[in-house]
Amino acid sequence: MLEKLLSLDTELFVYLNGLGSETYDGLWLFITRQSNWTPLFLLLLYVIYKKLGVKQTLYLLLFVAALITITDQTTNLFKNGFQRLRPCNNSEINSFIRVVQERKSFSFFSGHAANSMAVVTFLYYNFKDKIKFFGFLFLWPLIFAFSRIYLGLHYPLDILTGYFFGFAFGFLMFKGYKIAQQKYFPQ
């Protein structure tokens, strides 16, 4: 069963990765760099500040920092525990896939997918009733994580698992934040 799932995962990766072309490599390399998303982060920070004020924004950012730390460390625990080779390092497929970027670390599961989904989930549940169209923020982890498949760095199952853990951690952190917020910032 597991071998069949991994085989399907590899087949789907090869198909999705094969959709790319050199024409768009630069775009996807740009998309995959976290620092290139800084304008989005600054815009979000500004919107959050306008909704919450300085003190509560800093308090929320403390929870975001804790969330990223927890998600990132869990990702590393899984990567080092499972030690699944990235597609770009898999000798069975790396000779015929598009390898646009290489990494030596392991693949399962995607930290890009987990961290971006965790933050978006946390923010979404906090602001879905306060900011119109805030659900569009979920486009960020979708685009961000797909770049990892395009570049030859992650299998689809790595991305989906990252989404699952990111969503779970983001939602749990939201629940913890709401409890703490009621205690320290009662309305």
Nearest to 20 by CA among 152, 155, 110, 159: 152
Residue 131: what pLDDT?
85
Domain spans in the chain, listed from the N-terminal domain onward: 2-184
Residue 138: what pLDDT?
95
**Coil, strand or helix at 160:** helix
Nearest to 7 by CA among 161, 156, 160: 156
Residue 130: what pLDDT?
87
Residue 2: what pLDDT?
87
Is residue 73 a contact partner of residue 169, using CB atoms and an 8 Å limit?
A: no
The values of phi and psi at residue 154, to 5°, are -145, 150
**Per-residue tens of pLDDT for the chain, all 187 residues:** 989 999 999 999 999 999 999 999 999 999 999 899 999 999 999 999 999 999 999 999 999 999 999 999 999 999 999 999 999 999 999 998 999 999 999 999 999 999 999 999 999 999 999 888 889 999 999 999 999 999 999 999 999 999 999 999 999 999 999 999 888 777 6
